[in-house]
Amino acid sequence: MPSRTVAKNRKTKSIVHRIPLTKARINLGQVVRRAHVNREYFILEKDGIPVVGIMNVDDFEDYLELHDSELNDHIAKSNAEYRAGKARDVSELLAELRTAAKKKQK
């Protein structure tokens, strides 16, 4: 399946393949396998115009999380609390969780 490729900067290099929709339809199993196993990205084009992308579901979920304003607000708040010294030692948290679990068992 011939394709034009472009390297994307990430932790590891990902390849973006631009292929016609008709070729993707014929080779859908192979496209899906490569997206899943090799974490390759595919942009499907109709008459040379990009119409849809295919990517690994883990990458897609990460993308969706990046665009979740509530999650981003929570992360920003957590970072601010950490910088303000409001973080606690993990041993304190574990002790608190163990105590709560014991109370729940009773």
Q: What is the pLDDT of residues 36-70, one digit of tens each?
A: 999 999 999 999 999 999 999 999 988 888 888 88
| Whether the Cβ atoms of residue 39 and residue 64 lie closer than 8 Å to each other | no
Predicted model pTM: 0.56
Do 46 and 81 belong to one domain? no
| 41-46, strands of its sheet edge to edge | 4-8, 14-20, 41-46, 49-54
- List C-alpha distances in Å: 58 to 31, 38, 65, 97: 16, 12, 11, 30
Owning domain of residue 22: 4-56
Share of the chain above pLDDT 90, in %: 45
Do 51 and 8 belong to one domain? yes
Return mean pLDDT, the chain.
Answer: 85
Task: Evaluate whether residue 63 is within a structural domain.
Answer: no
Task: Evaluate whether residue 61 is within a structural domain.
Answer: no
Task: Evaluate whether residue 62 is within a structural domain.
Answer: no
| Whether the Cβ atoms of residue 17 and residue 40 lie closer than 8 Å to each other | yes
| Number of domains present in the structure of the chain | 2
Which position has the token pair 């997206």? 35
Do 33 and 74 belong to one domain? no
Longest dimension (CA), the chain: 67
pLDDT of residue 105: 86
